[in-house]
Amino acid sequence: DGGITQSPKYLFRKEGQNVTLSCEQNLNHDAMYWYRQDPGQGLRLIYYSQIVNDFQKGDIAEGYSVSREKKESFPLTVTSAQKNPTAFYLCASTIGLAGASAIPYNEQFFGPGTRLTVL
């Protein structure tokens, strides 16, 4: 089955801890994204990556970090610097063109999400 997976489904963090959310896709997509969704709200872009070993900040990157060492994987680390990390985190991917952004032009495929709660 082709798709995009996220783990874990639920994550609990103590204040001051860093946690890493996993996102893996086997769709052979170049571009991957991390969004944050708060209750009753739309999605806000945290980070995105158009190609391996390259990524850009989205609208709310402060307190988060990412890496893109493999095409299939785009993990997100929520650091202790993120003051209000409790939220639903969604990873997505889309077909891209190497060396060019396809972000606004194509449909995005989403993972099932990770719900992070700070205790």
Partner 1 sequence: SQQGEEDPQALSIQEGENATMNCSYKTSINNLQWYRQNSGRGLVHLILIRSNEREKHSGRLRVTLDTSKKSSSLLITASRAADTASYFCATGGIYNTDKLIFGTGTRLQVFP
Nearer to partner 1, 51 or 102 (CB): 102
Nearer to partner 1, 85 or 111 (CB): 111
Rounded to whole angstroms, the Cα distance separating 37 from 71 reads 24
61 binds partner 1 (CB under 8 A): no
Rounded to whole angstroms, the Cα distance separating 102 from 119 reads 38
Rounded to whole angstroms, the Cα distance separating 82 from 62 reads 7
107 binds partner 1 (CB under 8 A): yes
Q: How far is the CB of 106 from partner 1 (least distance, A)?
A: 8
